[in-house]
Amino acid sequence: MSTPIVSKQMMPDLGLSEEAMKSAAELLAKVLADEFVLRLKLRNYHWNVTGPQFRSLHELFEEQYEELADIVDETAERLRTYGRFAPGTMQEYSKLTRLEEQPGDHPSADEMVMNLVLDHEMMVRNLTADSQIAVDENEDVGLEDYFIGLLQQHQEMAWMLRSFLIRQQS
């Protein structure tokens, strides 16, 4: 007896409309691009930070880009659960990301930290809006929960970085 061959991809039945699944995949693709771009910025800063706080910032940037590596992987896999392919090229990420890069810019250590705080806070705002779309328009509470978990991680990462900028007042 031969095994039947499936000629087309089986679409998951998640209890969502086709339009809701398409919208979820589009949201996740943007989040994936944002996470990847932020991870790349952290890696760049990790390599290029200088100054008296080199060691502590070098380590903090490494911790955060490693955390984002897991988030990138989880987000791509989450996107696949909707029966769509995850973007995986720099060209795709450049088109999809909502974050901005500054090619050729070599900021000071404090400017690096501030840039990262602003990016994490942008991630929080974007994920808040994305979670609203997930639940209000798509009725996808699972995706809403996923986005809320991500935004909480970005809130914590922003706090860690922001705390670094606080100077003791005399």
Q: pLDDT, tens digit, for every residue of 25-84?
A: 999 999 999 999 999 999 999 999 999 999 999 999 999 999 999 999 999 999 999 989
DSSP string, 45-111: HHHH--STTHHHHHHHHHHHHHHHHHHHHHHHHHHHTTT-PPP-SHHHHHHH--S---TT----HHH
Q: What is the mean pLDDT of the chain?
A: 91
Residue 10 pLDDT more than 90?
no
Residue 42 CA from chain centroid, whole number: 12
- Report pTM: 0.90
Position 18 scores a pLDDT of 85
Reading the block at residue 65, the tokens are 């880009």
Pairwise CA distance, residues 58 & 109, whole Å = 10
Position 76 scores a pLDDT of 98
Pairwise CA distance, residues 142 & 19, whole Å = 16
CA dihedral 16, 126, 57, 90 (to 10 degrees): 70
* pLDDT interval class at 9 (50, 70, 90): low
64 to 6, 27, 38, 45: CA distances (angstroms): 41, 23, 10, 11
- Please tell me which residue, 167 or 31, carries the higher pLDDT value: 31
Position 103 scores a pLDDT of 87
* pLDDT interval class at 168 (50, 70, 90): very low
Sign of the dihedral defined by the CA atoms of residues 46, 68, 132, 11, in that order: positive
Contact 97, 37 (CB under 8 A): yes
Q: In 3-state terms, what secondary structure has residue 166?
A: coil
Pairwise CA distance, residues 145 & 151, whole Å = 10
Query: In the chain, pLDDT over 90 holds for what percent of residues?
Result: 79
The residues spanned by each domain of the chain are 18-165
Report the largest interatomic distance among the alpha carbons of the chain, rounded to a whole angstrom: 83
Q: pLDDT, tens digit, for every residue of 91-113?
A: 999 999 999 988 888 999 999 99
Number of CB atoms found within 10 A of residue 87's CB: 19
Average pLDDT of span 8-24? 76
In terms of CATH architecture, what is 18-165?
Answer: Up-down Bundle (1.20)
Residue 16 pLDDT more than 80?
no
